[in-house]
Chains A and B, each alone.
Chain A
Amino acid sequence: QVQLVQSGAEAAKPGASVKVSCKASGYTFSTYGISWVRQAPGQGLEWVGWITPYNGNMNYALKLQDRVTMTTDTSTSTVYMELRSLRSDDTAVYYCAREGRYCSGRNCDPPRHGMDVWGQGTMVTVSS
C-alpha cells in the first residue's frame, strides 16, 4: 500500500541543524511531490515547503526559505528536509505528505489536489 515512513524523533540545540527523512513506497516515486507540514505544540498546521522528484523543483514557505532545504534521493525513494539555525519556535511535529502537481519541463503548476498520504510525523525538539 502507499506509505510514507519518517525518521525518528530529533533533539537539537538552538543554532544547530536537523535533517528529517521521509521514505515513500507503494507508488511511482517520481510522479508525486512531497510537502512538509509542521505543527508546533498547541498550534495549528503550517506548510513548510514542497519538492518534486520529477525535476527537483522546490517551493518553500516564505518565512522559512532562508533556513530550509529539501532534497530527494530517487535511488531510495526518500525525501529529506533539513532545517538550519534552529530556534525554540521550530519545536514541532514535522509531517511529510504526498502532493501531486502537474509539471512540464522546469515549470510546475499550482497544486490542484490536497495532500492525500501522510507520514507518521517526526517530533523535533529544540532546547538548550
Chain B
Amino acid sequence: QSVLTQPPSASGTPGQRVTISCSGSSSNIGNNYVHWYQHLPGTAPKLLIDRDTERPSGVPDRFSGSKSGTSASVAISGLRSEDEGDYYCAAWDDSLKNWVFGGGTKLTVL
C-alpha cells in the first residue's frame, strides 16, 4: 500500500486532455513539494514536473502540475501516443524522513 494514492489507470484519445491525481497527507504533500515522474517502457524514470508546477528543461508545455492542500495533479494536454506509460507522484515525508511515491498510474492512449 503506497503512502500517496493515485488511480491505477487513466486513458484518453490522441489530442485529448487527461488529468492524474495524487492524494497524500499533511506530513508529505501538505508540507512539501510534489514531483512527478514519467516512466516509459524500457527506459529510466524521467522528472516530468518539479516542485509542484515547474517543468524541467526539455519537458513540453503540454504537461502541467498543480497542488492544493494535500492533493496534487498532473495534466497532459494534446495527448500523444508516445505519452503512454506510467506516471508517479512523489513527495518527501516529514514523519518517515523518506521519499514516498504513489503507486503509479498507467496511462493508455486509445
| Interface, chain A (partner B; CB < 8 A) | 35, 37, 44-47, 59, 61-62, 95, 97, 110-116, 118-121
Please tell me if B100 contacts chain A, counting CB pairs below 8 Å: yes
Q: A59-B97, A111-B92, A118-B46 are in contact. Are A45 and B51 (CB under 8 A)?
A: no
Please tell me if B7 contacts chain A, counting CB pairs below 8 Å: no
Q: Which residue of A lies closest to B44 (CB)?
A: A118
CB of A114 within 8 A of CB of B37, answer: yes
Contacts of B100 in A (CB 8 A): 47
Interface residues on B, range: 20 to 34
Q: Which of A46, A113, A114, A119 contacts B44 (CB 8 A)?
A: A119
Q: Which of B37, B51, B90 contacts A112 (CB 8 A)?
A: B51
Q: Which of B45, B47, B86, B90 contacts A95 (CB 8 A)?
A: B45
Q: A110-B32, A110-B92 are in contact. Are A116 and B47 (CB under 8 A)?
A: yes
CB of A35 within 8 A of CB of B99, answer: yes
CB of A114 within 8 A of CB of B47, answer: yes
How many contacts A-B (CB < 8 Å)?
A: 64
| Interface, chain B (partner A; CB < 8 A) | 2, 32-33, 35-37, 39, 44-47, 49-51, 56, 86, 88, 90, 92, 94, 96-104
How close is B54's CB to chain A, nearest CB, in angstroms?
9
Q: Which of B50, B86, B94, B103 contacts A114 (CB 8 A)?
A: B50
How close is B84's CB to chain A, nearest CB, in angstroms?
17
How close is B93's CB to chain A, nearest CB, in angstroms?
9
CB of B99 within 8 A of CB of A121, answer: no
Q: Which of A44, A47, A112, A118 contacts B99 (CB 8 A)?
A: A47
Contacts of A95 in B (CB 8 A): 44-45
How close is A111's CB to chain B, nearest CB, in angstroms?
6
Contacts of B50 in A (CB 8 A): 113-114, 116
CB of A44 within 8 A of CB of B44, answer: no
How close is B9's CB to chain A, nearest CB, in angstroms?
13
A47-B99, A110-B94, A115-B37 provided; 10 other pairs, C-beta below 8 A? A37-B99, A45-B104, A47-B100, A59-B97, A111-B99, A113-B33, A114-B37, A114-B50, A116-B47, A121-B44
